[in-house]
Amino acid sequence: MHHFRYVGNQLHADGVDLATIAGLHGTPTYVYSEQTIADNYRRLAASLADLDLKICYAMKANSTLAVLRHFANLGAAFDLVSGGELRRVVAAGGAPGESVFAGVGKSEAEIRFALETGVYGFHVESEPELARIDRLAGQLGKKAPIAIRINPDVDAHTHAKITTGKSENKFGIPLKAAAAAYAAAAKYPHVELKGVQMHIGSQLTKVGPFVEAVQKVLPFVEELKKLYGIRYFSVGGGIGIVYQDALASGDAAWWDAKPEGERPLTPEAYGAALKPLLAPLGLKILLEPGRFLVGNAGVLVSRIEYVKRGQGKNFFILDAAMNDLVRPAMYEAYHEIVPVARDTTRAALAADIVGPVCESGDCFAKDRTLQEVREGELVAFMSAGAYGYTMASRYNTRPMPAEVLVSGARFELVNAREAYENMFAGEKIPGFLKS
């Protein structure tokens, strides 16, 4: 459920017309709904109520400071993957001491910074990383809290580029080798075995793989509790969202109309399936959801630059491009694209919806049928709140887009469109090229 809907024929985020935001702040602009984020967070937390639960929001999905502060206010901690993300948590007023530091390639500088700042746990992905953390913690006179990421080798049935729980990919330590990894870790003087972690993939729309993975690792987790007194089990993130019918899925009626077997994963179904498995452990349970919390809480608003009618092919050329929202180009991901001003009297037109970047991969949708839109009009990409802005780049020297947060009838620019001067502020012409 979310708070983007037509009021009359104008698409609104909560109580604000997206055209008003575009008029004031230009396009392309990401617009987030404060209320949708809060609803998603509370629903997920409620679905696992009674557990000793901590939601560590996977901030790689959307790490804008305003969004992080909102999560901190809601009571979330963070799942972070770099020294940069840790600095963002601090800058936003979040709690690093309750947050976890994941990632396969933590550098010495990042580990040192995390040890100095204090994190809840390092999610360790290899034995060399463990050795490095131990050594650096020793140098700083600290004990590093760690959890080893175990790879349960479960097929998440999701896009090949975002599946992580299969043994052939680079993440974690295979379940078979995990006992030995913990035994080795127990010998390091400067680490504390605090937990265990897993994550099987992203954009899962069925609960089955989550259940399978938890069941598979449960005996091992119990063993770790007995042997080392570990205190937490992080079950990772991965809950999927609706992309295809994104706008309609804002309403409860859309979900209610779905027969049980066809209903995409809900937090309630996730909680109902996992709670009975996790409760008997008597451990603190960490969740690391990213996409579920912010995905449907954001749209990317863009303006039509040109309507190009070709022979047998039409193109809507937007002012947003693959640099602003890379998911379609990178994963062939589907994003629903809707007009900000709906006009039911207009004909529908099939067109390729593309950006201005100079490569044919800069295509958001092929042969998509949309209301016939005209130059200067606005469209919105639904479900763009996760992995949208965070994956944006400056390709073609296009500035990073603006971001706006809406709360009820209020809205505020939370990240200004990047200024051209900033784009090459760190660059210089070397002396040997100056004549």
Catalytic residues: 358
Q: How far apart are CA 296 and CA 33, in angstroms?
A: 9
DSSP assignment of 354-378 equals E-SSSSTT-EEEEEEEEE---TT-E
CA-based torsion, 354, 418, 105, 98: positive or negative: negative
* Positions that interact with ligand LLP (CB under 6 A): 58, 61, 79, 102, 162, 164, 199, 202-203, 236-239, 288-292, 327, 331, 387
Is residue 340 within 8 A of residue 22, CB to CB? The reply is yes
Is residue 371 within 8 A of residue 343, CB to CB? The reply is yes
Question: Could you give the count of Cα atoms lying within 13 Å of 142 in the half-sphere of its Cβ?
Answer: 16
DSSP assignment of 296-347 equals GGEEEEEEEEEEEE-SS-EEEEES--TTT--HHHHH-----EEESB--TTSP
Output the smallest distance, CB 386 to ligand LLP, in A. 6
What is the C-alpha radius of gyration for the chain, rounded to an integer number of angstroms?
A: 23
Which three-class secondary structure state does DSSP give residue 32?
Answer: strand
Q: How many CB atoms lie within 10 A of CB 15?
A: 14
Is residue 5 within 8 A of residue 398, CB to CB? The reply is no
Output the smallest distance, CB 256 to ligand LLP, in A. 25
Residue 259: alpha-carbon gap to chain centroid = 28
Q: Which residue's CB is nearer to ligand LLP, number 165 or number 339?
A: 165
Is residue 48 within 8 A of residue 81, CB to CB? The reply is no
Is residue 383 within 8 A of residue 373, CB to CB? The reply is no
Q: How far apart are CA 94 and CA 78, in angstroms?
A: 8
Q: How far apart are CA 132 and CA 300, in angstroms?
A: 41
Q: Which residue's CB is nearer to ligand LLP, number 64 or number 202?
A: 202
Host H or E run for residue 194: strand 191-197
Contacts of 401 (CB under 8 A, 6+ apart): 28, 29, 30, 300, 320, 324, 389, 392, 417
Q: Which residue's CB is nearer to ligand LLP, number 190 or number 199?
A: 199
* The pairing of beta strand 298-309 with beta strand 314-318: antiparallel
Tokens of 400: 């990073």
